[in-house]
């Protein structure tokens, strides 16, 4: 990631860590720019899904999974909870910060959704054809 740019803080509500060590609430920090792997993950989510609803869901998940750089969530012994897709899902329910992080990631990385080599989906494939004595016909013709 770009180390010279500051991380983007996203407040996610009251501290939910054991012992509540963050009186100002928990914060998730996003990278200022989505990295190569994240961009590829988002573009792939857009490219491989034919269902528009699934495409949006997969793109949002890729944005969040690849956009989180740090957070304040700890396990009660002072150790931060490691960031992974599983811990993101467990630590950020939709109504407890997940929606805020998803929207912040969307707003921060929206250009990835509009551009890139995979954003322009190829035309739908047509049915294969085969030759016949009468010329080219659909593969399903008899």
pLDDT tens-digit profile of 65-124? 999 999 999 987 889 999 999 999 999 999 999 999 999 999 999 887 776 554 455 545
Range of the domain at 47: 8-121
Residue with tokens 């890729």: 62
What is the Cα–Cα distance from 43 to 55, expressed in whole angstroms? 10
Number of domains in the chain: 1
Question: Is 65 domain-assigned?
Answer: yes
Question: Is 2 domain-assigned?
Answer: no
Question: Is 24 domain-assigned?
Answer: yes
Question: Is 127 domain-assigned?
Answer: no
| Paired tokens of 48 | 């491989």
How does residue 17 score in pLDDT terms, banded at 50, 70 and 90?
confident
Question: Is 70 domain-assigned?
Answer: yes
Question: Is 141 domain-assigned?
Answer: no
- Which of 38 and 141 is assigned the larger pLDDT? 38
Q: pLDDT tens digits for 22-79?
A: 889 999 999 999 999 999 999 898 888 889 899 999 999 999 999 999 999 998 788 9
DSSP 93-129: -GGGTHHHHHHHHHHHHHHHHH-STTTSPPPPPPPPE
Instruction: State the pTM of this model.
Output: 0.76
Contacts of 121 (CB under 8 A, 6+ apart): 46, 47
Question: Is 133 domain-assigned?
Answer: no
Question: Is 51 domain-assigned?
Answer: yes
């Amino acid at each position: 990631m770009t180390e010279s740019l500051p991380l983007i803080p996203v407040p996610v509500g009251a501290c939910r860590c054991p012992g509540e060590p963050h009186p100002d609430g928990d914060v998730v920090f996003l990278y200022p720019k989505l990295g190569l792997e994240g961009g590829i993950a988002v573009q792939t989510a857009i490219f491989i899904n034919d269902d528009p609803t699934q495409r949006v869901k997969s793109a949002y998940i890729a944005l969040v999974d690849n956009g989180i750089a740090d957070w304040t969530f700890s396990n009660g012994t002072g150790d931060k909870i490691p960031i992974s897709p599983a811990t993101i899902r467990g630590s950020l329910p939709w109504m407890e910060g997940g929606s805020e992080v998803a929207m912040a990631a969307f707003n921060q990385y929206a250009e990835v959704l509009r551009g890139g080599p995979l954003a322009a989906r190829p035309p739908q494939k047509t049915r294969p054809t085969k030759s016949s004595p009468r010329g080219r016909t659909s593969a399903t013709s008899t």
